Structure 1
Amino acid sequence: MLGYIPGHNIAIDYRSGRGAVLDELARDLLVSRVDILVTTSGPAVLAAKRQTTSVPIVMAMSGDPVGTGVVANIAHPGENVTGLSLMSADLAGLRLGMLKEAVPRARRVGVLFDPTEPPTAQELRETEIAAKTLALTLEPLPASNPDALNQAIAKAAELHVDALITFAHAFAFVNRAQIISLSGQHRLPAMYGWREFAEGGGLMSYGPNVKATFRRAAVYIDRIIKGARPADMPIEQPSTFEFVINQRTAKALGIEFSPALLVRADEVIE
């Protein structure tokens, strides 16, 4: 829609990695003289910012850019960083409440998260607050690599958790097939942060649309190419969220959604 055709009037160079290698990847891209860096996780934007204070950085997906020190202010970044933050203080309570509504018998809930993501501590605090309101006990399940995922969900089963909530971290999104498979093997009803999980066989999801988020990031890139300064471009937060239910998975788990929950769904996968 913006008129860009890769290989014709724009070149896109990809790098992917985790941990300390992110700084090396950012340096590599800067050496190749890219005009804009695009990041898709909290650790990635921190690594990019450590490597440059002049090349524009667009966050396609990020947690809390203010809390992690990436920018001082969302409305006026004042830095070489702008884009989208997917952090929303209400999400933890909403997701946990929907999960409890879907699984009323739940008393103990496993919380699967990537401990390397900068906003994790804040997300855990918000989830704990919501859990107390719902009379739920939380079991933290940190995992930042595929082997740790196996161990974390096996631990959830050993602890006899009644359900699982997965934080909407980039690591979870990339490894969603493994998470969905493991949750199914252990018969764990789970709430996820993106519709792709429910589409892939997860029980339910609530969160912003990833494809729409990347489309918005493209608008930021277009504006910067045309001369806009990242420092003057407010960071956007999601204003619309999708609630997706997978009825096939619910039936396999012996879960019957209430009419009240079904009517709130943006999509029901039969």
Structure 2
Amino acid sequence: MDRLRALAEELKVKKPAVIVAGVGAVIVAAKAAPNVPVVQMQGGSPVAAGLAASLARPGGMVTGVTNVVGEVSEKYLELLFAAAPKLQRVGFLVDPVSGSYDAHMKNARRATERYRVEAQFAEAVKPEDLDPALSRLVKEGVQGLVIMPSAGMFIAERTRIVKFALAQRWPVVAGPSTFVEEGALISYSADSSALHRRAAYYVDRILKGAKPGDLPIEQPTKFELVVNLKTAKAIGLTIPQNLLFRADRVIE
């Protein structure tokens, strides 16, 4: 996060016409250069982060696209239970500095009530927080792991997180497909290529004179489900055919 702040300050000095950022960088950029339009190309809700009044009428200097919808926690649990229906205790790795932290926690608690599963939450802000957080989930006896959206640290540390989880034989569900490529069981997220194309549209509109506060923030319409069969075999799971049929991509 300190590195992001330093980069944002460098950009501010250069007086850009618009800043394009993703994940936690949007919040940092908006604070460092409050008078510069910021286009979010992926990340949580700018509304939940306090950067926009609403999706339809942002009203400030931040607009763009969000790759997270409100019920993402419920979707993660749905997919986890589709693959491993006998789970009774699930761990959630949470980033408390994520811009949508409160909304994600509320949705996660509601989802665990719906699925009648015991939930254990472990928070991590810095890389050095990960081992204690994950070790606590081991002590709590969790049988699977949901990696919640973060300000970017979880993605950067995905190899380490997934390696730890696989050592415990945990099925892991996360957002970005990069987690599944590292060995997580399932990923479910918005199509990043489509989001980036839409971000370019926003930049074009702003450079042509549009005010960011007048441009509605878009939510994703296309999602990608990826399943790692190699991981399923390694941890002793048989993925149901109906889940495989829903997958956009299967890693074997």
Question: Which residue is 1:117 aligned to?
Answer: 98
Q: Alpha-carbon deviation of 1:162?
A: 0.7
Give the counterpart letter for 1:27 in structure 2.
E
Tell me the distance in 1 between the aligned counterparts of 2:87 and 2:207.
50
Question: Which residue is 2:80 aligned to?
Answer: 99
Tell me the distance in 1 between the aligned counterparts of 2:91 and 2:49.
25
Tell me the distance in 1 between the aligned counterparts of 2:99 and 2:37.
21
Tell me the distance in 2 between the aligned counterparts of 1:110 and 1:191.
11
Question: Which residue is 1:9 aligned to?
Answer: none
Q: Alpha-carbon deviation of 1:222?
A: 2.6
Q: Is 2:30 the counterpart of 1:49?
A: yes
Question: In the alignment, which of 24, 37, 44 is matched to residue 19 of structure 2?
Answer: 37
Q: Alpha-carbon deviation of 1:24?
A: 4.3
Tell me the distance in 1 between the aligned counterparts of 2:169 and 2:132.
16
Give the counterpart letter for 2:139 in structure 1.
E
In the TM superposition, structure 1's runs of 4+ consecutive aligned residues that sit over 3 Å from their partners are 21-25
TM-score by length of 1: 0.86
Question: Which residue is 1:3 aligned to?
Answer: none
Q: Alpha-carbon deviation of 1:23?
A: 4.3
Question: Which residue is 1:200 aligned to?
Answer: 182
Please tell me the root mean square deviation across aligned C-alpha atoms, in Å: 1.7
Q: 1:215 to 1:171 in 2, by over 3 A?
A: farther
Question: Which residue is 2:251 aligned to?
Answer: 269
Tell me the distance in 2 between the aligned counterparts of 1:216 and 1:201.
30
Question: Which residue is 1:164 aligned to?
Answer: 145
Tell me the distance in 1 between the aligned counterparts of 2:115 and 2:79.
11
Contact 2:127 2:153 (8 Å CA) reproduced: no
Q: Is 2:248 the counterpart of 1:260?
A: no
Q: Alpha-carbon deviation of 1:134?
A: 0.8
Q: Which moved more, 1:56-65 or 1:234-243?
A: 56-65
Contact 1:39 1:57 (8 Å CA) reproduced: yes
How many residues are aligned here? 251
With a CA cutoff of 8 Å and minimum separation of 6, indicate the structure with the bigger relative contact order: 2
Tell me the distance in 2 between the aligned counterparts of 1:165 and 1:40.
21
Q: Alpha-carbon deviation of 1:233?
A: 1.4
Question: Which residue is 1:15 aligned to?
Answer: none
Tell me the distance in 2 between the aligned counterparts of 1:49 and 1:163.
36
Question: Which residue is 2:212 aligned to?
Answer: 230
Q: Alpha-carbon deviation of 1:115?
A: 1.0
Map Cα deviations across residues 132-156 of structure 1 (whole Å, 9 max, x no partner). 1111111001112222112222222
